[in-house]
Amino acid sequence: MDERKRKILKAVTRDYIDTAEPVGSRTIARRYGLGVSPATIRNEMADLEEDGYLEQPHTSAGRIPSEKGYRFYVDVLMTPRTLSRQELQKIYATLQAQQVLEDIVQESVRLLALLSQYTSIVVAPNLSRGTVRCLQLIPLDEFNVLLVLVVDPGFSQSRIVETSRPLTAQELARINHFFERRLAGAVLADIGASLIEELRDEIDDEALLSEALNLLIKGLRNIKKEQVFIDGTTHLLSQPEFKNIEKAKGLLNILDDERAVWSVLNRALGRSGILVTIGSENPHEGFQECSLVTATYEINGQVVGSIGVIGPTRMDYDKAVSIVEGIANSLSSLLSDPRRH
């Protein structure tokens, strides 16, 4: 593609992103100072349409970018704005104010939606391959205990677990003592049958054994699973592309399907850096009228989760890429900080 066509495609794309209105040759000539007449621009736009980079809505004389046009814009033409040092410091400070992993992740998804004005998604770290630092039961009342799990490198989660009978302080101490001796250093995903046999040998009281297993299984059931956090769904509904109630309802239903959302973001986990998927490039049919900008975040160089935004294909890619990248890098820096562990 020659330089003039590139400039015209970039101008059409930027104008359509900003206005959501099909773009005509006179608009390009007036707003972008390309130094050529509207007639020349019109001819170039016709060539771009013929080559598949632009398309013409039935109801308008103007043109809009096709998926191919957006892809060329993202890969070749756009210039993402790097967030300033002050902006990055603000993001880092906001995340740093949170103490618990879950709160850090929730704050990052809230911040991403606020700054991008798109729907944001974060997949929290999968703890299943983490090493247990501490697993402890804390009594709350007669029939409830708090199971607290700390997994290296410093993730903590807790669950309220119901006991089947009241446990004495001595019984809880015996269970905690076993957890401390046998679980410290174990990989979370490997806690299974062999541990149960060790537990059986350790605790000869059948009723207490049953209760310890019950608490362990119930407490770890959801902790091993990936958690997906979503914020800013109302931002999607404010986009002209989703004014149609049925279309909006379908997209909201998909966003309610945690597994579907996780599978879309999981594509980012196999690579580093920013991944932009546009329209039909998305493997999930429900997202094929949307674009996603995703990135991974790390702890000490190891990828542990992904973060991203969903918007219309008429997304402001320059802005979305810079914000997703900035927050992903801030998350990586914060979670890798040895002072947190």
- Which pLDDT score, from 0 to 100, does residue 192 have? 64
Residue 338 has pLDDT above 70, yes or no: no
pTM: 0.79
Question: Helices 258-266 & 245-255, crossing angle to 10 degrees?
Answer: 80
Q: What is the pLDDT of residues 235-285, one digit of tens each?
A: 888 888 888 777 777 788 878 777 778 777 776 666 677 999 999 998 877
Q: Are 123 and 307 in contact (CB under 8 A)?
A: yes
Q: What is the pLDDT of residues 99-133, one digit of tens each?
A: 777 788 899 999 999 999 999 999 887 666 677 88
- CATH number assigned to the domain with residue range 3-77, chosen from the 4 options 3.30.390.50, 3.30.1360.70, 1.10.10.10, 3.40.50.460: 1.10.10.10
The reply to whether CATH 1.20.120.80 applies to domain 85-126+226-340 is no
Amino acid in the structure at residue 170: Q
- CATH number assigned to the domain with residue range 128-220, chosen from the 4 options 3.30.390.60, 3.20.20.70, 3.40.930.10, 3.20.10.10: 3.30.390.60
- Which pLDDT score, from 0 to 100, does residue 102 have? 77
Phi, psi of 117 (to 5 degrees): 65, 30
Distance CA(265)–CA(123), nearest Å, equals 7
Domain ranges of the chain: 3-77, 85-126+226-340, 128-220
- Which pLDDT score, from 0 to 100, does residue 11 have? 96
Tokens standing for residue 135: 């697993």
Distance CA(120)–CA(293), nearest Å, equals 10
Q: Which of 125-134, 185-194, 227-236, 310-319 ranks highest by mean pLDDT?
A: 310-319
Among residues 302, 311, 305, 301, the alpha carbon closest in space to that of 327 is found at: 305
Question: How are beta strands 54-55 and 155-162 bridged, if at all?
Answer: unpaired
Residue 320 has pLDDT above 60, yes or no: yes
HSE-CB for 18 with a 13 A CA cutoff:
9
- Which pLDDT score, from 0 to 100, does residue 153 have? 60
Give bridge partners of residue 145 from the DSSP assignment. Answer: 139, 161
Q: Residue 247, Cβ neighbours under 10 Å: how many?
A: 12
Tokens standing for residue 28: 């390009």
